[in-house]
Amino acid sequence: MKFGTRILAQADRLASFSEDEGRLTRTYLTPRHREAGEQIAVWMREAGMEAGFDALGNVVGRYAGDRPDAPAVATGSHMDTVVDAGRYDGIFGILTAIACVRDLHARGRRLPFAFEVVAFCDEEGVRFGVTLIGSRALAGRFEPSMLEARDRDGVTLRDALIAFGGDPDVIPSLQRKGLAAFVESHIEQGPVLLDEGLPVGVVTSIAGAGRARARVTGMAGHAGTVPMPGRRDALTAASEMALAVESLCGSRPQELVGTVGKFAVAGGGAVNVIPGSVEFTVDLRSGEDTVRRRAMADLESHLHEIARRRGVTLAWEPFFEMKAMPCDAGLQSALASSIAAHGVKVRHLPSGAGHDAMELAHIAPMAMLFVRCGAGGISHNPLETMTAEDAEIATSVLLHFLENFRP
C-alpha cells in the first residue's frame, strides 16, 4: 500500500499530542499545538516542502511549481480538535496532501503551480470561542476584535499568541492573493458514503448555519404547593420548545437540520423547586440560506406562541450566522473525473458541517473531497474511524486531480 498505512500511522502519532490524559484534546496556542505543528512541519520538509509556523500559528508547507512565476493552489485542513475528539477530523486533510507531495518529490515531478499545504491552527474554536481563525486570516477576513477573545482562564487570544511566538501585527499580511484554487480533503463526518458503499464523494456545498440563544422565564415555586394548572414552569416550556426544533427540522430532513446543544436551568436547579428560568441554544443548518433564514424566523414565531400559551416569556437572541458556500462547479467536475478514473462511482453530496474551505472560497475557487467514515459515520468522538484502504483511494484521487489540474 502506497499511502494509506503511513497516513493512519501518522494520525496515530498526532493523536498522542493531547492535553487530556486518556483522550484526544488539542486546542489553539497550547504546548500540544506546538508539538503537533512541529511534527507536521517535519513531515512536510521530509516530503520536499519548505515549512514552518506563520505569525498566527498555522503550519504552512510549500512545494515550488515548475517555474518561479507559477500560480498557487492550496489545500489543507485543521490540526486543532474538539474535546475528546476522533483522530482523523481535519488531520486527514493535512496528511493526505503531504503524502501527495512526497510522491511527486520522489518522482522529481513539479506541477504547473506552487502547491501549499496548510495545517490550520484553529477551526473548532474550543479555546477562545472563535472559529476558523487560521483560514480567516488567509482569506483576509480575520477581525482585530478576535484578538480580545478570552479563554476560560481569562487569557486573551492576543496574549496567548505573543506567548506562543506569534505576531498579531503580521496577521493582515497572511492573506493569500491570486490563489488559483483551494481544495480540501476531509472525512465526511456522516453516514452517506458508508451507507452507499463508496470510499469518496464530491462535495456540492457547505451548509450555512444560524444560531440563537433563548432564555425562558417563568415563575419559580415550591414543588409541593403550587397546583399544576397554575404553574409557569420554565423547564417544561423550554422542553416543548426544544421538541419544536426537532419537529420543524424533522419535517424537512432533506434541507434542514437543527440542534439544541445547550440546555440549562438557572443556578443548576433544585429537586424541590419549579424552575423559574432556563436557557438553551438553537443551531439551524441548511445548504440554502433562504431555507435556513425562513426556518429560523418561523421557529422564533412558534416558540413565542408556546411561551404565551404557557404563561412564560421568551428572550430570543440570534448571535451567529454563517452563509452557505457552494463549491466551484469546474473543480467539482475535475474531482469527479479523478474519482471516475479510479473506477469509483461518483457521488455528489452536501456538507452539513463547516470547514476551513468555506473561508478560502471568499478569495479562490473552492472544492472538497469527502472520504468515508466508519462506525456509522460518527465524528467528533473517539469512535471516529477510517480505513487505510479508503485513505489510499482518497490520496490517489487527490494526486490524480493535482497532476491533471491546470489553473
> Is 222 part of any known ligand binding site?
no
The pLDDT of 167-190, averaged and rounded, is: 97
Residue 253 has pLDDT above 90, yes or no: no
pLDDT at 174: 98
Residues in a beta bridge with 351: 206
The pLDDT of 239-258, averaged and rounded, is: 94
Options 3.40.30.10, 3.30.70.360, 3.10.129.10, 2.60.120.260; CATH of 208-321: 3.30.70.360
Residue 76: left if φ>0, alpha if ψ -120 to 50, beta else—which one? left
Options 3.40.309.10, 3.40.50.1860, 3.40.630.10, 3.90.1150.10; CATH of 4-206+324-404: 3.40.630.10
Confidence of residue 2 (pLDDT cuts 50, 70, 90): very high
> Is 348 part of any known ligand binding site?
no
Q: pLDDT tens-digit profile of 259-306?
A: 999 999 999 999 999 999 999 999 999 989 999 999 999 999 999 999
> What's the predicted TM-score (pTM) here?
0.88
Q: pLDDT tens-digit profile of 20-31?
A: 999 999 999 999
> Is 148 part of any known ligand binding site?
no
> Is 105 part of any known ligand binding site?
no
pLDDT above 90 covers a percentage of the chain that reads 96
pLDDT at 217: 98
> Is 186 part of any known ligand binding site?
yes
For residue 245, give every residue at least 6 positions away whose Cβ sits within 8 Å of its Cβ, in sequence order, or none: 258, 259, 260, 282, 284, 299
> Is 380 part of any known ligand binding site?
yes
pLDDT at 320: 87
> Is 211 part of any known ligand binding site?
yes
> Is 302 part of any known ligand binding site?
no
Domain ranges of the chain: 4-206+324-404, 208-321
Q: pLDDT tens-digit profile of 127-156?
A: 999 999 999 999 999 999 999 999 999 999
Residue 254 has pLDDT above 90, yes or no: no
Provide the H-helix boundaries in 221-356: 234-250, 289-310, 329-340
Q: pLDDT tens-digit profile of 162-175?
A: 999 999 999 999 99
pLDDT at 287: 87
